[in-house]
A = this chain, B = another copy of it.
Amino acid sequence: MDGLPAGEVVDVDALARDMARRAPGRDAFSTDRRETDAVEILSGLHEGRTTGAPVCGVICNQDARSGDYGQALRPGHADWTALLKYRGHADMRGGGHFSGRLTAPLVFAGALARQTLARRGVRVHAKIAAIGGVADAEIPCTPDAYGAAAALAFPVSDAAAAAAMQQRIRDARADGDSVGGVVEAAAFGLPGGLGEPFFASVESTLAALLFSVPAVKGVEFGGGFRLADMRGSEANDALCVRDGRIAAVSNHNGGLLGGITNGMPVVVRAAVKPTPSIARAQQTVDAAGVQTALSVRGRHDPCIVPRAVPVVEACLALCALDAWLTAGRGAERGEG
């Protein structure tokens, strides 16, 4: 992870806690496979502070059972496209280069970004918005409300919604099946004016990062797809003056206008498809093109949405910090 300011204190314990939120094997709703996801930091830290050099961490796989991965192409996985792209040379044990394991470094970098932002008054939190068609209740768009939800072991605000989601996961597992959901993240305290128009807008860079997370198939900001059904008079966020600064009365634009932050909370949602690895028999082919049926064994999450929460949070934190630091550049603007 390059580009962190020098001299930042790194809270290694908080880092480990963030890693644990993504790590498998935490509870009844995730895979039995256990990884501590301990990070060995090789460079960039000295006496507990960043040095300005890139921070390099290594996370080793511990509980891998490569034998669980066979020759049939797993539907919904990148086995097929890896075969097309790498002509059979890809090492797809554990999903290879396309494995969800590769989100662990994102959480590592995101944890450093969150700590760095927190010292500047910016809080980034994520929670589950929906699982298996069950939506969480609406909560106030405040750092405390999101922070409280994010701190829960099963990060859903409404207890009844949480229970219903967990039941959906248990039902899916019992059926040898899986469920998907939606993760929502918000950043509070970002100043306005961050991001560049067009190709380096906050929306563009954050969406690009989120779509590099395996299983994410949709990204929306603020009202997102629901804005498509609204009228302008409803979707527009009326402006007012609050505490001496321009503010918006509502936040349908999710803190972003023209791809630039406006000082309101930045709100993003990512759709996570159901875990493609399921025990139920599926029709597929093997690498040689022979038709076969596949029941994916191995220890797979019936729902990866809870483990995706810190990943989406990390993506938002990374983009927010990058926009913030780049804005040092922007901040210089107009001074002449």
Identify the A interface with B (CB < 8 A).
5-9, 42, 46, 49-54, 58, 73, 75-78, 80-91, 96-98, 102, 116, 119-120, 130, 132-133, 172, 175, 177-182, 191-195, 197-199, 201, 203-205, 207-212, 214, 216-225, 227-241, 244-246, 248-249, 252-254, 256-263, 271-278, 280, 282-285, 289, 291, 325-326, 328-336
Taking A208-B199, A218-B218 as contacts, is the C-beta distance between A6 and B259 under 8 angstroms?
no
Shortest Cβ gap from A74 to chain B (Å): 8
Copies in the complex: 4
Q: Is A97 a contact of B180 with CB atoms below 8 Å? A: no
> Are the C-beta atoms of B329 and A239 separated by less than 8 Å?
no
Which residues of chain B are near A81, meaning CB under 8 Å? 192-193, 256-258, 260-262
**The 4 nearest A-B residue pairs measured at CB:** A78-B258, A218-B220, A53-B97, A81-B260
Whether the pair B52, A246 counts as a contact (CB closer than 8 A) is: no
Q: Could you tell me if A7 and B87 are in contact, using CB atoms closer than 8 angstroms?
A: yes
Closest Cβ–Cβ distance, residue A61 to chain B (whole Å)? 10
Q: Are B233 and A212 in contact (CB under 8 A)?
A: no
B86 touches A52 (CB 8 A): yes
Which of B58, B80, B273, B277 is A42 in contact with, Cβ under 8 Å?
A: B58
Contact for A89 among B7, B98, B244, B331, CB less than 8 A: B7
> Could you tell me if A5 and B273 are in contact, using CB atoms closer than 8 angstroms?
no
CB–CB B274/A6 < 8 A: no
Most buried by B among A49, A87, A236, A262: A236
Nearest CB on B from A17, distance (A): 21
Residues of B within 8 Å of A271, CB to CB, are: 220, 224-225, 227-228
